[in-house]
A and B are shown apart, each in its own frame.
Chain A
Amino acid sequence: MGRLRDALRGIPLIPAGILLIVVVAGLLGPLAAPYNPEENDLLNSFLPPLWKAGGLMAHPLGTDQFGRDVLSRLIVGARISLLVGCMAVFFSGSIGTTVAITAGYLGGKADAFLMRMTDAMLSMPYLLIGVALAGIMGPGLLNLVLVLAVLGWSSYARIIRSEVLRVKTQDFVVLARITGCSTARILWKHIFPNIVNTMIVLATLQLGITIILAASLSFLGMGVPPPTPEWGLMVAEGREFLSSSWWLATLPGLCILLTCLAANLLGDWLRLRLDPKFRQRA
């Protein structure tokens, strides 16, 4: 218990709390949702949230144009957004890191080739490519993850490669070779741990960006197909009712915002926490 306390020292409570709620919602999914998020109930459509006139306890956040409970859709949507976000970040992070370590550590022609590819990817307008790719691959969760992975790896590659270069030229890496470390051992014991901080911070930043990107693609009809409750899709569907039932677009938008912000702030804390210079002995 003491070790856990020690590990979580200084953690920003509000972002952590928000992320915890989102994660729990994601884990529980349909179990936590009071209603089936995809079931229509046209008699009860366009119910406002609790605090407005005409709101009901039964539907605390109101209902959409098909009478589906907004709260339930947000909860199940959390699962999808997190799932898509985490999987996409994991895949793009893995590809990007592999490219970065290969290019950064080996240098030479491998480096030149991989970096030109990365530059090419980075110079392309990502939303356009995303739409094109999604259009080719068709709708669906896995396809969305793949599209996001393909779009995202190049940002990793750039940044992590410069970290690898920074670490590689430090004397302790040279000394590791002098002491008789094999290349594999150096990569695993010295290079990787020294870049893992950056990877984690990058991952949390990318999570935010990825969730927004997934929402954008779904918004454009290129991601998760309706009637699946995905936050971006909900924003899209609620757009035409912005003047009357504003909560349909605003609430999912707020969820996207809060989740990304929480992820970023937590990432900041994590970076500081993992840096030995800031550790304090108990």
Chain B
Amino acid sequence: MSETVLRVEDLRTHFFTRSGVVKAVDGVSFSVRRGETLGIVGESGSGKSVTALSILRLVSTPAGKIVGGRILLRGDDLLAKSEKEMVKIRGARISMILQDPMTSLDPLFTIGEQLAEPIRIHQRHSTASVGGRVEEMLSLVRIPSPEQRVHDYPHQMSGGMRQRIVGAIALACQPELLIADEPTTSLDVTIQLQFLALLKDVQRQMGLAMIVITHDFGIVARICHRVAVMYAGRIVEGADVRTLFTNPRHPYTIALLKSLPRLGAETERLFTIGGQPPDLRHLPQGCSFTPRCTRAMDICSTEYPSQRDVGEHHFVSCYWNEKGEG
């Protein structure tokens, strides 16, 4: 069992707006181990990206505020650190890559210069060795002819290549944790697969702990070891990938998996989850999924179900499971 790199305990991030308090993340707990990939799945607005930003403490102030919980990076509580200390951690111990490769790189600098930047910020290297390191990183992400590519500008590269450069920048200082927020959503399907394979290899090589935020179960199946399903700011189910696909226990997870079209199945109509995601300013009492849940009971609308273990490394926040029905 490898060591835990990140442990998040009861994280709460709220946004204080004129029309109410938006509880974007409301009691989220999970952990990620070395060499392990955790997938965080959910609809838009479920709080996935805010969770990632909270870990990096980049939630937009003044509206956004982390109001509770602990974030432990190898035992260091990130919420207790000053901004100065966080600046040293970002890019060096925790890194992140974003969705859109077309705007992720500064158009005015060569990719060599942009790759060198995190190295210059966080590490002391002579100019010569920075160049060497840059080419090393380009080879790591499988960019051909790195010595020539170093002088290219972002607009001279395709989306897939740019996203790999973004990955290289994120990994330049060998962080302990990499967060990927919808890393393949903007890429062509074939490039997506390439990129995911690359991430997987790099993780193996570097012993990286990874969090992949996505709404795509296909990606989860491909590279995640464990999954957490988020709804309205909370994790409703968490399990190993295999377990989640074969034995989902939360009605939301079941519905999500049911709405995936399957090859060969004879369906005339695609299944959708009825209703709308809740207004995060006015969350209902009890479980937030109740209005859309086919298995809701009276107790569901009065009290939020706490996390229960339902198997090895498998937990759920749902009353329906407790009764052992279904």
- CB contacts (< 8 Å) of A276 on chain B: these are 107-108, 153, 155
Q: Known contacts A175-B104, A175-B166: does B62 contact A180 (CB below 8 Å)?
A: no
Q: Known contacts A171-B98, A277-B155: does B107 contact A178 (CB below 8 Å)?
A: no
Q: How far is the CA of A176 from the CA of B96 in the complex (A)?
A: 10
- Say yes or no for B87: interface residue by CB 8 A criterion: yes
Within 8 Å by CB of B103, from A172, A277, A279, lies: A172
- CB contacts (< 8 Å) of A175 on chain B: these are 96-98, 104, 166, 169
Contact with A along B160-183 (1 / 0, CB 8 A): 000000100110000000000000
What is the distance, in angstroms, from A86's C-beta to the closest C-beta of chain B? 26
Q: Known contacts A108-B62, A276-B153, A277-B155: does B104 contact A178 (CB below 8 Å)?
A: no
- CB contacts (< 8 Å) of A185 on chain B: these are 121
Within 8 Å by CB of A194, from B62, B95, B106, B121, lies: B106
- Say yes or no for B47: interface residue by CB 8 A criterion: no
Q: How far is the CA of A193 from the CA of B155 in the complex (A)?
A: 17
Within 8 Å by CB of A172, from B88, B104, B118, lies: B104
What is the distance, in angstroms, from A191's C-beta to the closest C-beta of chain B? 10
Contact with B along A268-282 (1 / 0, CB 8 A): 000000001101000
Within 8 Å by CB of A180, from B100, B106, B107, B118, lies: B118
Contact in complex: B106, A179 (CB < 8 Å): no
List A residues 84-136 near B (Cβ within 8 Å): 108
Contact in complex: A180, B105 (CB < 8 Å): no
Contact with B along A170-201 (1 / 0, CB 8 A): 11101111111110010001100110000000
Contact in complex: B103, A182 (CB < 8 Å): no
List B residues 239-287 near A (Cβ within 8 Å): none
- CB contacts (< 8 Å) of B155 on chain A: these are 276-277
Q: Known contacts A171-B100, A190-B106: does B90 contact A180 (CB below 8 Å)?
A: yes
Contact in complex: B58, A177 (CB < 8 Å): yes
The contact size tier of chain B is 20 to 34
Contact in complex: A194, B108 (CB < 8 Å): yes
List the A residue with the shortest CB-CB distance to B99.
Answer: A171
List the A residue with the shortest CB-CB distance to B105.
Answer: A172
Leading 7 A-B pairs by shortest Cβ distance: A180-B91, A179-B91, A180-B90, A171-B104, A171-B103, A170-B103, A172-B106
Extra inter-chain contacts (12) besides given A181-B91, A185-B121, A276-B108, CB under 8 Å: A170-B103, A171-B98, A171-B99, A171-B100, A175-B96, A175-B166, A176-B117, A178-B96, A179-B90, A179-B118, A180-B89, A180-B122
Write the residues of chain A forming the contact surface with B, with a CB cutoff of 8 angstroms: 108, 170-172, 174-182, 185, 189-190, 193-194, 276-277, 279
**A-B residue pairs in contact (CB < 8 Å), sample of 27:** A170-B103, A171-B98, A171-B99, A171-B100, A172-B106, A175-B98, A175-B166, A176-B106, A176-B117, A177-B90, A178-B56, A178-B95, A179-B91, A179-B118, A179-B121, A179-B170, A180-B87, A180-B89, A180-B90, A180-B92, A180-B122, A182-B87, A185-B121, A190-B106, A193-B106, A276-B107, A277-B155
Write the residues of chain B forming the contact surface with A, with a CB cutoff of 8 angstroms: 56, 58, 62, 87-92, 95-100, 103-108, 117-118, 121-122, 153, 155, 166, 169-170
